[in-house]
Every structure is written in C-alpha cells, then in structure tokens.
Amino acid sequence: MRLTHGAADHLGAGDDVADEADPGAEIDLAILEIAAAQARDAAAAGHLAVVGDELVQPGQTGGVDRAASAEQVESLGRRSDEISQIALVDAESGAVQVLADLKTAQTFRGSDNFGQRILGGSAPDMVARNEAIALVDSISGGAFAAAGVFASRAVVNGAVRAKLDGNVTSSASVLVKGKGGSLADSRTLAVSASGVAGMGISAQYAEVGSSADVEATSTDGNNDQQITSSGHVEFAAESDNEAKVHTDVAAGGALAGIAVSVPTARVSGATTASVEGNVTAGAAGINVHATSGNNAIIEILAISVGALSAAVTWGEAEISTSADTEAKVLANATFSAPAGAVEVFATSINHTSSSAASAAVGALAVNVMKSVATVAGATLASFNGDIATTLTKTASLTVKARGQNQATVDAFIAAISLSLSGGVNLAQAHVTSDAETAAEILSSASINVSGAVTVDAGLTTDTVTSDVIGGFTVARSAHYQNYALANLGNVAGGAIAVGATVSDALVDAGTRATLNGDVTGSGSITVKAHGDENVNAPARNDASAKTLFVAVGLAGLAYTDTTAQVGVNAVVKAEVGSAATVASSGLISVTSRSANNAITSTNGGAFGLVAGSDTLPRAKVRGSTIANFGGNATSANGMTVTDSGVSMTMSSAGGE
C-alpha cells in the first residue's frame, strides 16, 4: 500500500498565516519524528501503521524506531512530493483506514499533536484547512499631493490526496478519504488624501488554485488491482473552498481625486473520487462519493472627491472550469457487492458573488465599474465499469449527481458634479454551460444487479438567508437552484449628466441523466433529471436582471441594456441512448422535469431641460426539456417516458 500527498505549504487549523503558497516546501523533520512516536503507541495498541514507507506490525516497535531514526527521517523528509502519510489497519477488525492530511511545518507545530490527530481513536476524520491571508492597510496624506499603489495577493495551491494503488487481499472494511478546505483571503484598505491631489490604486488577488485538488483515488493502469473486504468499501473526497476579496479605497484632493480598484477572487481546485481497480465488498456495499462547497466573493467600496474626480473598479469573482466535482468509476473497474448497494454520488454547491459601491464627486466626475460573477465548475457522477454476475447478486446501482450553481452581482455607482458627470456600470452574472450537473452510465459499462439501477441528476435548493441589494443586506425572500442575478444602480447628476448601464444575467448549465451502457439484469431501471429529491419536482433555472438608472441635469442622457436569459445549453435531459441494451424484471422509467424563469426589470430615466433615454429590456428562455428512450429493451414489466417543462419570461420598464 502506498499513500501519496501533493506538496502542501499552507496553514492548518489557523496556526499561522502565509500570504502565498509555495508548492515546493519540504516536510519538517520534527513532523516525522512526532508521527513515528505516535505510530509506536498505535502499534503497541494493536494497529498496523505505515510511516513513510516503513511498515510497523502491531506490538512491534522496532520498525517504528527505525522509521524515527535520524537517517531515515532525513531521507523521507527530502522526498516531500512522494512522502507517504499514515495508514491504519485495525488488528482486531481488519479495517483499513487511508487518510490524507497536510504535512508541512506550518501546518503542525508545537502543541498541535500531529500523531494524535491521525492515530488517536479508532477512526480519525482528518480535516485539513489550508489558509493564505494577505492584509494591506495604508493611509497616506500630504499638503500638496498623496498617491499610493497597493496590492495584496493570497494563493492556496496545495493538494490533499488519498491514494490506494496496491492490493488489499482481505479486510473488514476499506476507507480511502481525502478531506480538505482552502481559504484565500485578500483585503485592502487604501486612503490617499491631500490639499491638492490624491490618488489611490489597489489590486487584490485571492485564489484557490488549480493544483489545490482534493482527491481519493485508486489507480489500476494494468487492470490487476484487487481490493477485497467482507464489509464496506468507500472512496470519499470532500472539500470546502473559499476565495474572498474585500477592498476599501478612497482618494481626495482639491484639484483631483482618483480611486482605482481591481479585485479578483477565483476558485479552481477540483474535488475527485475515482476508482479504477477491482473491488469486492460485503453486504455493506461500495461507495464512491465527491462533495464540494465552493465560494468566490468580492466586496468593493470606492470613493473619490476632487475638482476632477474619477473612480474605476473592475472586479471578477469566478469558480473556474477546473473546479469540477467528480465521482467516477473508470473503465477498468469491476465491482461486486453481494446483497449490497453500489453508490456513486457527486454533490456540489458553487456560489460566486460580487458586490460593489462607488461614488465620484467633483466639478467633473466620472465613475466606471465592471462586475463579473461566473460559475463554470461541473458536477459529474459517472459509472463506466462492470458489476459482475455473482451467485448472490449485487443489490443495486445508483449513480447520482446534485448541483447548485449561483452567480450574483450587486453594483451601485454615483457620479455627482457641477459640470459634467458620467457613469458607466457594467455587470455580468453567468452560470455557464460548463457548470453542468450530470449523472451517467457510459457505453463501456455492463451491469447485472438484483434490484434497481438508477441514474439520477438533480438540482438542490439553496439555504441562503440574505443578499446584498443596493449595498444593503436584505433577507432572501425566495430560494433558488441554478440562479443568476445582475442588479445594478447608476446615478449621474450635473449640468450635463450621462449614464450607461448594461446588466446581463445568464443560466446556461444543463442537468443531464444518461444511460448508454448495458444492463443485463435488474429489478427496475430509472433515469431521471429533476430538482431536489422528489422526482416530480422540476430542475429550476432562474435568471434575473435588474437596473435602476437616473441621469439628472440641465441635459440628461441615459442608456440601459438589461438581459436575463436561460440559455440554449440549459437542457434538462433524461435519456437511454441508442448504444444501450437493457433488461429488467420491473419498470423502466425515463423522466425529466424543468421550470425556467427569465425576468428583467428596468426603472429610472433621464431628467432635464434636454433629456433622452434608451431602454432595452430582454428576457429569454431557450433551454429545452427532453426525455428519450433510444436503446434496446430486451425485457421489462412496463416503460414510461415523461418530460414536463414550464417556462416564464417577464420584462418590465418604468421611468421617463
């Protein structure tokens, strides 16, 4: 048995703070010494321990002593990219515990008992939290001029991995588990003020990087791995990731005040549970599951005051295409769990939000803001292996994906002047086509079970208690599944006032359940795409774009473009494909249900002796709902194929 762990250089349990990850950090020698000492206690208590590559038998401390020797510790410490952590085999029950955790000097120090957290008790549940926090506060002033350029950067980019690539020939249970969380937090306070001119520029970057994966895997490229247990076999990957930026920037002077803020918050770490080996379990069954919670958050306040006043903000909150959540059984895998269930589950909650408020006040005032919130991480449960025919059959197979993807923007700007004022407010809240929620049985799969075969893709409803609306926290009166909200306000006042507002909300992510493999025996077959846990509840996609625009002056001009769309890729589909041949002694059911809503609201106008406004609200629903049986059914007790879709579009405009 070999356990590997990617280099990690972050902080655990809030012990220390690092402003940036260093993927090449080596393991601290004291950590191995502590691990070895605790392994000695575990061995004496009847556990089998693996420290590095040293195997320690129950009741025998010699192996631990060798692992703890200075030479051995130094050798292991220099192989930080391959260093094995600790695995346990309970001598009495035969249970195998494969654990993933952080291992750097920053993570475990002093009174933080590394060995106790891993080896203490009978079934440790390790939670590794990686933190990178960057804080910058600066206030500058002067009689003539004051200027400051400030930047903060927080990056977490280390992986948590639990890997089993050897054989387990006998055990009472097998657990391979990677569990981790990452926080990248970047905050800036920048104030520049003087008697003549003040300028403040701030840039913030917070990222949970594409290498910050959480994994629980088995690899079997030669198709010869065997994992055997009389009990339960489980591969579990769980993550909780957050990238957050908060910035306050202000600049002022008698002649000029210029405030610029460029924040970015991004989550790119994947969560993966995958099995490629051959697994035999008892009636307790086989579980492969991946669970993630990802958040990218931006909060901005920008103020500028001066005869020439300008405020510019440009922020992006993103859960990228790399931040997938996947539970997979690969093509080489053969599963058997007589009288037990096989479950492949993937569950994710992906939220991005950007909230910003900005004001420019002066004889000449200009305010420009762009806010972007994007969710692009997929959720996938996939089975592409075999469930072999046995004397006592495996009871059932369930392949289930649950997704919840939400992107929200709230942005308010004001430009007030005695002469010319101009405000441009642009917002984009997108749940992209990459953020698909999918459950699938692929074409290489062959399945023979006594009970149900279920392929189930669904969306879950949020439990969010409040939103930021117009800069204020407001209780959320309704709850959503896939959701995009772009809410903007733009106020310009002056002798000549000009304002432009563009608001774009898009949900374009599909919900898909497909069966393309063969089912040679089953008690029933169900393929469904829906919302929540109730098959009769629809998968809900909601896009909402709201705009408030006011331009007031001797001459006032305003333009607004407000778009809410459920896109063409937001397909809710349940399908048995043409490559599938299926057999069942019970019902074959294929069901898809959806509810799509696109709503736009625009209010305001231009006011003055000369006033003009152009308002363009658009609401579209283009996603389809599909249920289809295109395969070959050799036996069944009946078949139902049902689809149901409800769509609503609404546009409203008010003002002058």
Report the pLDDT value the prediction gives residue 575, as an integer from 0 to 100: 97
Query: What was the pLDDT predicted at 144?
Result: 59
What are the tens digits of pLDDT across the range 365-405? 888 899 999 999 999 999 999 998 889 999 999 999 999 99
Tell me: the pLDDT tens digits for 25-43? Answer: 333 333 334 444 444 444 4
Q: Between 447 and 70, name the one with better pLDDT.
A: 447
Q: Which residues contact 62 (CB under 8 A, 6 or more apart)?
A: none
Q: Which residue has the higher pLDDT, 9 or 523?
A: 523
The pLDDT of 322-337, averaged and rounded, is 96
The better pLDDT of the pair 258, 80 is held by 258
> Which of 104-108, 158-162, 225-229, 418-422 is the least confident region?
104-108
- Please give the pLDDT value at position 477: 85
What tokens does 68 get?
């703890």
Which pLDDT value is given to residue 115?
27
Q: In percent, how much of the chain has pLDDT > 90?
A: 47
For the stretch 51-92, pLDDT in tens is 333 333 334 333 333 333 333 333 333 333 333 333 333 334
Does the pLDDT value for residue 410 go beyond 70? Answer: yes
22 pLDDT tier (thresholds 50, 70, 90) = very low
> Where residue 453 falls among pLDDT bands split at 50, 70, 90?
very high
Q: Give the CA count within 13 Å in the CB-facing half-sphere of 366.
A: 9
pLDDT over 60 (residue 435): yes
Provide the total of helices (H) and of strands (E) in the chain, helices listed first: 4, 43
Residue 566 has pLDDT above 80, yes or no: yes
Kindly report, residue by residue over 345-366, the tens digit of the pLDDT.
Answer: 999 999 999 999 888 888 788 8
Looking at per-residue pLDDT, the higher value among 501 and 251 belongs to: 501
pLDDT at 347: 98
Confidence of residue 21 (pLDDT cuts 50, 70, 90): very low
Cα–Cα dist 76/50, whole Å:
13
pLDDT of residue 580: 96
Distance of alpha carbon 222 from alpha carbon 652, whole angstroms: 61
Calpha distance 355→353 (Å, rounded): 7
Residue-range domain boundaries for the chain = 1-126, 148-297, 338-656
503 within 8 A of 431, measured Cβ to Cβ = no
Map 585-632 to HEC letters. Answer: CCEEEEEEEEEEEEEEEEEEEEECCEEEEEEEEEEEECCCEEEEECCE
Q: Give the side-chain half-sphere CA count within 13 A for 574.
A: 31
Non-local (6+) Cβ contacts of 475 within 8 A are: 465, 466
- In this prediction, residue 50 carries a pLDDT of 39
Residue 212: CA count within 13 A, CB half-sphere: 34
The identity of residue 21, as a single letter, is A
Give the mean model confidence (pLDDT) for residues 97-113: 29
Determine the Cα–Cα distance for residues 159 and 118; give it in Å rounded to an integer.
18
Among 276-280, 298-302, 398-402, 619-623, the minimum mean pLDDT is found in 298-302
484-495 per-position pLDDT tens digit: 999 998 888 877
> Which residues lie closer than 8 Å to 334 by C-beta, 6 or more apart?
278, 279, 385, 386, 387, 388
Q: What is the pLDDT at residue 366?
A: 85
Residue 101: is its pLDDT beyond 70? no
Please provide the average confidence, as pLDDT, over all residues in the chain.
Answer: 79
What pLDDT score was predicted for residue 116? 25
What pLDDT does residue 191 have?
78
CA pair distance 368, 278, nearest whole angstrom: 58
Q: What is the pLDDT of residue 510?
A: 97
Average pLDDT in the 558-584 region?
95
C-alpha distances out from residue 461 to 251, 332, 403, 519, Å = 42, 35, 9, 32
> If pLDDT is split at 50, 70 and 90, which confidence band does 416 have?
confident
pLDDT tens digit sequence for 134-161: 777 766 665 556 666 777 888 888 888 8
Top-confidence residue, 73 or 550: 550
CA distance 559 to 492: 12
DSSP string for 397-425? EEEEEEE-EEEEEEEEEEEEEEEEEEEEE
Residue 94's Cβ-count burial label (10 Å; 0-12, 13-18, 19+) is: middle
Distances (CA, A) of 456 to 50, 102, 158, 451, 593: 39, 34, 32, 16, 12
Taking Cα atoms as reference points, which of 97, 323, 100 lies closest to residue 211? 323
Tell which phi-psi region holds residue 470, choosing left (phi > 0), alpha (psi between -120 and 50) or beta.
left
Average pLDDT over residues 163-187: 87
Residues 6+ apart with CB under 8 A from 573: 510, 511, 512, 513, 514, 529, 592, 624, 625, 626, 627, 628
Predicted local distance difference test score (pLDDT) of residue 654: 63
Q: Which of 45-49, 327-331, 438-442, 546-550 has the lowest mean pLDDT?
A: 45-49
3-state secondary structure of 62: helix
What is the pLDDT, as a whole number, of residue 23?
A: 33
Please report the DSSP string for 512-542 in residue order: EEEE-SEEEE-SEEEEEEEESS-TTSPEEEE
Q: How far is CA 606 from the centre of its chain?
A: 41
